[in-house]
Amino acid sequence: MSSEKKRREKPVRTGSIAFRIGLSSGLNLLLIFIVIDVVLFCIFILPGLTDPSGAAELNIDSFDTLRRLLSEWKIDILLRVEGLLVLLWVIAETLKVRSKLSPLQEFADAALRLSDMDGELEQRYQKLESAIDNLSPAEDDQKLATGDAELAGLETAVNKLMSRMRDSYRQQARFVSDASHELRTPIAVIRGYADLLDRWGKTDEKILEESIAAIKDESESMQHLVEQLLFLARGDSGRTTLSITDFDMTEMMREVWEESAMIDKDHSYLFEGEEPIPARGDVSLIKQAARILIENASKYTPAGGEIILRSLTVDGHPAFSVQDSGIGISESDIPHIFERFYRADDSRSKQTGGSGLGLAIAKWIIERHGGRFEIISRKDIGTRITVIIP
């Protein structure tokens, strides 16, 4: 190794630099004290050593006089105090400069460590790269582990990323599986009635009418399901934009109440609205969320049951609620009702129908507005869902 490289790799020590600077400052202070002492000597000591007649010669016993004057003026104490002050000044300046140079010392030490760790870092990165290559995204229990304590933070970050990727993969796989399952049923029904038409529908008008009605119903269900899937897909990809405007929450809920009472004759709809409640958001999407909640309430409320729609304020924020008198939701199911394709009760779901996507769409709409849901439900008594939009 060349001498130039050795000098370049020699560690920087700011302590000696700080001491030299402090010593230099102390010498400057000492020089000031010497000048002051000379001035004081000329003013107070020297006149006592000269001839009283005013001549410039010194008295014969000037040495004894000098000792007496120095003793009277406590010059020895003054010199000790000055020496102590100079020493304290050197120490204080050294510490002060060293404190200011400490970031430079840390930077130099870090640079030196990095230069010494070139080979070690390369080995670590190779080890990390090999560990990452051996990871299998499909294995849930597999995690990145190199055994290097200094890479622990990076390992944690990679493992969290892998966990999110696996959750996303499972969610997408479940979504595709559930969507395929939901589409399989109407396709099978349509195919069954098509075969029925091919065999006997050409001559039997009853079978013809029944098959046409069933095919129309199933195709409408498929269209509705596909539209819901497309809505969620556009929302997940960020292609659904909100048209934000100011509107009256009470007026919006009154409109939804009127159309619900007109369409659904099997239930009793009541509306309780406060004074005009100013709100801001995409009124068409918020109205769609309200319709989804009302449709869901009507499915689980027996015929003749009561459904109450309200507009209100919660903590100063505009809100609306949908309350039914239906079968209610168990506490264990409440956290999951907004999940896609979630069914709280398969037997009841078969009776009420639906794809299990409506509440997921409502959740997406309200969350895009920064809102939240509050749910109160009692089995066989009813459910009230309140939507708060800040």
pLDDT digits (tens, 9 = 90+) for 64-75: 655 555 565 566
The number of beta carbons lying within 10 Å of the beta carbon of residue 369 is 20
pLDDT of 51 reads 52
Q: What is the mean pLDDT of residues 48-57?
A: 51
Phi then psi dihedrals of residue 246, to 5 deg: -90, 140
Residue 271: pLDDT over 50 = yes
Global pTM reads: 0.55
DSSP helix/strand/coil, 50: strand
* Confidence band, pLDDT 50/70/90 cuts, at residue 61: low
Alpha helices, H only, 3-117: 3-9, 14-40, 46-49, 62-72, 75-116
Q: What is the pLDDT, as a whole number, of residue 189?
A: 85
Compute CA distances 188 → 174, 214, 353, whole Å.
Answer: 21, 12, 16
Instruction: Report the pLDDT value the prediction gives residue 281, as an integer from 0 to 100.
Output: 96
304-334 pLDDT, tens digit each: 999 999 999 999 999 999 999 999 988 888 9
For residues 105 and 99, what is the distance between their CA atoms, to the nearest angstrom?
Answer: 10
Residue 350 has pLDDT above 80, yes or no: no
pLDDT per position as a tens digit, 99-135? 777 777 777 777 776 666 556 666 777 777 777 777 7
Taking all residues of the chain, what is their mean pLDDT, rounded to a whole number?
A: 79
Q: Scanning the structure block, which residue is given the tokens 């016993």? A: 61
pLDDT of residue 128: 72
Q: How far apart are CA 257 and CA 253, in angstroms?
A: 6
